[in-house]
Copies of this chain bind each other. A is one copy, B any other.
Amino acid sequence: MIRLQREPIDYGTLVESVRRTTAGAVVLFLGTVRELTDGRVTVALEYEAYDRLAEKQLAAIEQEIRSRWQVTDVAMVHRLGRLEPGEISVAVVVSSPHRQDAFLAARHAIERIKQVVPIWKKEHWSDGSSEWIHPQEPIADPLHLPQS
C-alpha cells in the first residue's frame, strides 16, 4: 500500500495491514522530524510532492524490493504539509517470512524513497528563516528507477 497524506501517519494501522500468519517478521521504519540539525533549531518542516510521479516512483520501489527479497506485503506512506518536531514524516513497513528480507527490503525502500521520490522539504528555523533543502551537488542520483 502506497499513500501520500496530509493527516498524521497511523503506523499501527500500517503494521496491521502487512501482518500475516505466513510472515514471521515485520520491520517498520519511521522517519520523524528532528528538532536539531547541526545546532539549528527546527520549528517546522514543510513537505511538498509532485503527487502523481511520487506515487509512481513509490510503486516502482515496491516492485524493486519485491523482485530482490521475499516480501509478503509492504506499506509506504509519506506525509505532506507542515510537520512539527517529533511528528512522523514517513513510514515504511515490510512483512516477510524471513527477518533478513524484512530488514533489507525496508532499509532499501527508505533509501530509495530519499533518492528517487519527488518529495521536498522546507526547513522553518527558530530564527524565522526558512529554506528548501535541495542537495547542492549536481544531481548525482537521478530520479530514474530501472523499469521492472
Interface string of A2-44 (1 = CB under 8 A from B): 0000000001100100011111111111111111100000000
**With the chains together, A99 CA to B107 CA distance in Å?**
9
Report whether A24 and B28 are in contact in the complex, using a CB–CB cutoff of 8 Å: no
Chain B residues in 8 Å Cβ range of A86: 19-21
Q: Which secondary structure characterizes the binding site on chain A?
A: mixed
Chain B residues in 8 Å Cβ range of A97: 34
Report whether B23 and A32 are in contact in the complex, using a CB–CB cutoff of 8 Å: yes
Report whether B29 and A34 are in contact in the complex, using a CB–CB cutoff of 8 Å: no
**With the chains together, A97 CA to B85 CA distance in Å?**
13
Report whether B35 and A30 are in contact in the complex, using a CB–CB cutoff of 8 Å: no
**With the chains together, A25 CA to B30 CA distance in Å?**
6
Chain B residues in 8 Å Cβ range of A36: 21-22
Report whether A21 and B85 are in contact in the complex, using a CB–CB cutoff of 8 Å: yes
Chain B residues in 8 Å Cβ range of A33: 21, 24
Please list 27 pairs of residues, one from A and one from B, whose beta carbons are closer than 8 Å in the complex, sorted by A's number: A11-B12, A11-B15, A12-B12, A19-B30, A19-B32, A21-B33, A21-B34, A21-B35, A21-B36, A22-B34, A22-B36, A23-B32, A23-B34, A24-B32, A24-B33, A24-B34, A25-B30, A25-B32, A26-B30, A26-B32, A27-B106, A29-B103, A34-B97, A99-B107, A103-B103, A103-B106, A103-B107
Question: Which residues of A does B touch, CB under 8 Å?
Answer: 11-12, 15, 19-36, 85-86, 97, 99, 102-103, 106-107, 110
